[in-house]
Amino acid sequence: MPLIGFGTWQLRGQRGYDAIRFALEAGYRHIDTATMYGNEAEVGRALGDSGIDRKDVFVTTKLPSGGVGRERDTIDASLRTLRTDYVDLWLVHWPPRGEALPQVWRELLAARDRGLARAVGVSNYRTGQLDELIGATGEAPAVNQIPWSPPRHDARLLAESRRRKIVVEGYSPLKGTNLRGRVLGEIASVHRVTPAQVVLRWHVQHGIAVIPKSADRSRITANLDLFSFTLSPEEVVRIDGLSAA
């Protein structure tokens, strides 16, 4: 899974299609969608029109709460809408009714075993709920997609996930972050980049997959341009220190 993905929440219709298509042209090879986003059709059309080989793009979608009990029908519908035979990652979008529900996890594992998803995982699960899934099936989710940003940084949670061999994928990486703050501003000035790029690069250096979202072409491009600079260990620690945890 590429560490930098393109988030598509709220990107629908022609505006959504144009943003997704431009992201692919700009070089993104990881697209994150969900059934509840209502834009799987835009993702599928943009991917098909891009001319990029399907195997070269990592596509994620998610099982909505309404799909519980109809997991097979839901993934089949997503695949038709996305115009693909498989997704690279299928996630349970939220713990159903706030519970882990191992039976839902078993259905995702079955979908993976049938080749409908290359990997399966969850989103918005707590550590105890992850352990419940592991205890019931012997298999850990490949990914737990959760909100992550400097104010939400939690070194203990990250370590607990890694002990379980679960990849942390962060969404809303810029939400709630003071991009005009002194720490990010000083670090951005040193590297001649934007504070947003500093935050995204910080995710990458922590090994956290990140899925920024934008419909603005300049920001779409900038959010992918994270490999022309490297944060020093001291800078990473300074950003860690912005955590409210």
Size of the chain, expressed as the number of residues it contains: 245
Annotated catalytic residue 37: yes
Q: Give the angle 49-211-71 at the CA atoms, nearest 5°.
A: 75
Residue 201 to residue 206: CA distance in whole angstroms: 9
Residue 221 corresponds to which tokens in the numbers above? 């491009």
From the list 37, 86, 125, 171, the catalytic residue is: 37
Residue 11 to residue 185: CA distance in whole angstroms: 29
Question: Which one-letter amino acid corresponds to residue 230?
Answer: T
DSSP secondary structure, 105-148, as one string: HHHHHHHHHTTSEEEEEEES--HHHHHHHHHHHS---SEEEEE-
In angstroms, the Cα distances linking 25 to 46, 54, 129, 176 are 10, 14, 38, 29
Asked if 43 and 35 touch (Cβ cutoff 8 Å), the reply is no
Closest to 152 in 3D by CA, of 134, 167, 170, 165 = 170
Residues 6+ apart with CB under 8 A from 10: 37, 213
For the annotated catalytic residues, the residue numbers are 37
